[in-house]
């Protein structure tokens, strides 16, 4: 479990770095890149693909929430959850 969390942390930080260096990269571009990342990275292959997609989705939601707060837009339907989702098989 700890190894999965570490892998997810690395993916989150790498994806955040991509967004910081290139503002035009969005959720769908990063989701498409997951396929290539999984082929190149043996650690990403160990984690279920839906978990990795959830990490990218959570990063996108964090970005949206940051800019909503930065622009002064409030959303009353915000939901808070766990760090990542493990699908049942």
Q: Is the pLDDT of residue 58 over 90?
A: yes
Beta carbons of 44 and 14 less than 8 angstroms apart: no
- Give the pLDDT score at 67: 77
Beta carbons of 43 and 7 less than 8 angstroms apart: yes
The tally of CA atoms less than 13 A away on the side-chain side of residue 64 is 11
pLDDT band for 65, please (50, 70, 90 cuts): confident
- Give the pLDDT score at 56: 92
Beta carbons of 66 and 59 less than 8 angstroms apart: no
Report yes or no on whether pTM surpasses 0.75. Answer: no
Give 24 or 61, the one with higher predicted confidence.
61
Beta carbons of 45 and 38 less than 8 angstroms apart: yes
CA quadruple 45, 51, 54, 59: dihedral sign: negative
d(CA 13, CA 9): 6
């Amino acid at each position: 479990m700890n190894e999965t969390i570490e892998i997810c942390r690395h993916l989150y930080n790498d994806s955040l770095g991509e967004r910081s260096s290139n503002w035009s990269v969005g959720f769908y571009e990063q989701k498409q890149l997951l396929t290539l990342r999984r082929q190149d990275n043996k650690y990403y292959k160990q984690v279920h693909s839906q978990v990795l997609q959830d990490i990218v989705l959570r990063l996108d939601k964090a970005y949206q929430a940051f800019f909503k707060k930065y622009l002064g837009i409030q959303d009353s339907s915000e939901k808070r959850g766990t760090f990542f989702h493990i699908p049942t098989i």
